[in-house]
Amino acid sequence: MTDSTSRRVTANLSLTLDGRYNGPGGPGDFSAFAPYVTSEVARDHMTSIWEGATTALLGRINAEGFLGYWPSVAEDDAADPRDRGYAKWLVNTEKVVFSTTLAEAPWERARVVNAPAADVVAELKATGEGDILVNSSASLIKPLLAADLLDRLYLMIFPEIAGGGQRLFDDGLPASTWTLAHQRTGGLGEMAMVYDRVR
């Protein structure tokens, strides 16, 4: 039986053609992504990701990286309005940061949890309203895919083959079917795609 008040769990991530979410240089290697992340399609896609979300789930590394960048964008009148909108949402929304090492939350309106992502998502789905967005954190997306708890995937596909780096879709995931809810292609060949889980 499906609970009608159950919240939708969404996730966003950018990938290369060979399915990598970072390059061969490690977790901070986004050189293959740089030409595309500020395109019109990428910025519009980012807006669609957060508009319905009221909770953001972040891994520690992303939380600390985002903290060093986005709050200043929220205050920057010269920034692209879409970037400012996302930044303001990220600063002001409820954030759950997954970490085994942090003692306290690095942001306001954030709490740190040291628990399996699937357990935390099950708890969040039972309370509140609005989408629960797993915000560019593959360390959380992977276990939620494995537990079949994601309802929507927002993917940016960049026309680059990284040739190394970490993949999102590991072998051993449960089989699942998805339907394409939205697709848009940019002038550089980047593609914004939204897939909904068929249940």
Q: Would you say residue 13 lies in a domain?
A: yes
Q: How confident is the model at residue 6 (pLDDT cuts 50, 70, 90)?
A: confident
Q: How far is CA 79 from the centre of its chain?
A: 21
User: From the CA atom positions of the chain, what is the Rg in Å?
Assistant: 16
Give yes or no for residue 4 having a pLDDT over 70. no
pLDDT at 5: 56
Using N-to-C axis directions, what is the helix angle for 81-92 and 40-50, rounded to 10°?
30
Q: How many domains does the chain have?
A: 1
Q: What's the pLDDT tens digit per position in 107-131?
A: 889 999 999 999 999 999 998 899 9
86 is a domain residue = yes
Q: Has residue 186 been placed in a domain? A: yes
The 3-state secondary structure of 151-191 reads CEEEEEEECCCCCCCCECCCCCCCCCCEEEEEEEECCCCCE
The answer to whether position 59 is within a domain reads: yes
pLDDT at 67: 86
List helix spans (H) across the chain.
40-50, 60-67, 70-74, 81-92, 117-125, 138-146
Q: How far apart are CA 86 and CA 84, in angstroms?
A: 5
Q: Is residue 1 part of a domain?
A: no
> How many angstroms separate the CA atoms of 76 and 137, rounded?
25
> What's the CATH code of the domain at 90?
3.40.430.10
In a domain, 71, yes or no: yes
Residue 62 lies in a domain: yes
Domain around 142: 9-197
Structure tokens at 192: 């914004």
From residue 157, give the alpha-carbon distance in Å to each of 19, 33, 45, 152, 199.
Answer: 8, 9, 11, 16, 24
Q: Is residue 154 part of a domain?
A: yes
- Calpha distance 133→121 (Å, rounded): 10
Burial of 118 (0-12, 13-18, 19+ CB in 10 A): middle
- pLDDT band, residue 3 (cuts 50/70/90): very low
pTM (predicted TM-score)? 0.93
